[in-house]
Amino acid sequence: MPLVTTRQLLDEAAKGGYGVGAFNVNDMEQIQAIMEAAKETNSPVIIQASRGARKFAQDNYLYHLMLAAAELYPEIPLAMHLDHGNSFETCESAIKLGFTSVMMDGSLKPDGKTPATFEENVEITKKVVDYAHERGISVEGEIGVLGGIEDGHGAGGSGLDHVTDPDQAVEFAERTGVDSLAIAIGTSHGAYKFTKKPDGSVLKMDLLIAIHKRLPNTHLVMHGSSSVPKDLQDIINQYGGKLKETWGVPVEEIQIGIKNGVRKINVDTDNRLAITGAIRKVFAETPEKFDPRDYLTPARAAMQKVVAQRMTQFGQAGHAGDYKAISIADMAKGYASGSLVTKPLVTAK
Ligand SMILES: [Zn+2]
């Protein structure tokens, strides 16, 4: 299937009542792992690249690898998404390159560290939405500030420092016209999310439910949603790693989110852990090996296993063949005519 917009994938997910994993990539093996997992589970999928990934891989490599994925897996609906765009220019360059959706993270200033004001966030996000929609590209915004830091991006601190205010979420969605909205409900980026197993009181699921009630037509996005499974941590530590004990977001909590409007779930850390554990194991058990394929092959397989598992848990498995691609040109027409404009349809508080 040609690359499609995240908006189309999320509209379909909303109809089907499931979530779609958005998996971060930096290189060919990660893209291959995701596509094989999508094929194995018959899943639509979002592949996303951060500014750090674009710097690491270079835009042209990333874009052509994505095109190769679309070409090799014509049966899989695939969106190429920019994760955490920090400025209009970052989003514009991604769109010009061929990304089919972008995130404008206006919750932070362009330095990617300092929390921005609400008005600054509305202004920059609206600017990106206007530019993107004219070109048929969908946009994710963020309201509230996530905790932690990943790829040099993030305010740091706890995920509970700046949770999303539902009134602001409604006003933000109305004023910007974003297709999807990342909300802060206590999650953070990176591996060290929680120092004990989080329960419903640590993750503000009540807040998520309140936001969804008031914005039933806006697709919600959970960032920092790796589960950081203990078995993946253990493999790393068993073979010489030194990870401190940590907890991620339990899959059951994500599934509650999916029942309440969460359509896109960002996962990066779990795949990093799987890859690193597999490579460490080869290095430790067969130190005489030096062909990169000897450790990249099991690393890719380990990531594929995690991704396939998440696809099943999020409910996207089995849905790849449900629909036909809407072309980017037709998406642009839809935005222009108003038929794709997200109407917050605010319900009672
Ligand atoms: Zn994020």
> What pLDDT digit, counting tens, does each position of 53-96 carry?
999 999 999 999 999 999 999 999 999 999 999 999 999 999 99
Could you identify the residue written with the tokens 């205010």? 165
Q: Which positions are annotated as active-site residues?
A: 83
**Sign of the torsion formed by the C-alpha atoms of 177, 126, 219 and 34:** positive
The total number of residues shown for the chain amounts to 349
Question: Alpha-carbon torsion 342, 343, 348, 349, what sign?
Answer: positive
pLDDT at 348 over 50: no
User: Is-contact 328 129, C-beta < 8 A?
Assistant: no
- pLDDT band of residue 160 (cuts 50, 70, 90) is low
CA 223 / ligand 1 centre spacing (Å): 5
**Distance from the alpha carbon of residue 72 to the mean position of ligand 1, in angstroms:** 28
Q: What's the pTM?
A: 0.95
Distance between CA atoms of residues 22 and 47, nearest Å? 6
Ion ligand 1: residues, Cβ under 5 Å: 223
Distance CA 165, CA 300 (A): 40
- DSSP string across 88-118: HHHHHHHHHHT-SEEEE-TTB-TTSSSBPPH
In the predicted structure, residue 349 carries a pLDDT above the cut 70: no
Give me ligand 1 centre to Cα 233, in Å: 21
Helix axes 292-314, 269-285, angle to 10 degrees: 150
Q: From ligand 1's centre to the CA of 289, what distance in Å?
A: 36
Q: How far is the CA of 159 from the centre of ligand 1 (A)?
A: 12
Q: How far is residue 168's CA from residue 142's CA, in Å, rounded to a whole number?
A: 11
Residue-wise pLDDT for 200-253, tens only, equals: 667 888 999 999 999 999 999 999 889 999 999 999 999 999 999 888 999 999
